[in-house]
Amino acid sequence: MDNGMNLDVYFEIILYPVVGMLVIEIISRAAKVPNWIKLLTQALMCVGFGVAYLIMQVANWLTAGVLLALAIALFYQAKLSKLNPRKTLY
C-alpha cells in the first residue's frame, strides 16, 4: 500500500521524537532540573508531536497513538514523582 511517503520520511517521523526526548533528558540532567519537570516536559513534547502527526497531510495514526499513550504514562510518572520524589526509580 503506497501512501505517498518514502522510507526516509518514516525514519524522520520516528527520529524526531526520540531526539526530542534525548535533548530534554540531557538538558535536564545538566541543569539539575527536578525529575517531575523533566517528565512533564517530555510528556508535553510527546503530545505536541502526536497532535502534529495526526494533522499531517498523510496522517500517521499509529505513531501518533503511541506518542499519546507515552504522554499519558509520562504525565502519570510526573505526578508520582511530584508527590513522592524518593520513590522514583530513575
pLDDT digits (tens, 9 = 90+) for 10-64: 788 889 999 999 999 999 999 999 999 999 999 999 999 999 988 886 667 888 8
Q: What is the pLDDT of residue 4?
A: 63
Give the number of residues written for the chain: 90
Per-residue CA distances from 51 to 12, 21, 31, 59, 70 (Å): 16, 16, 28, 10, 13
More confident position, 48 or 9? 48
What integer is the mean pLDDT of 70-80? 92
SS (H, E, C) 64-90: HHHHHHHHHHHHHHHHHHHHCHHHCCC
Rounded Cα distance, 1 and 12, in Å: 20
* Residue 5 cell numbers, joined: 511517503
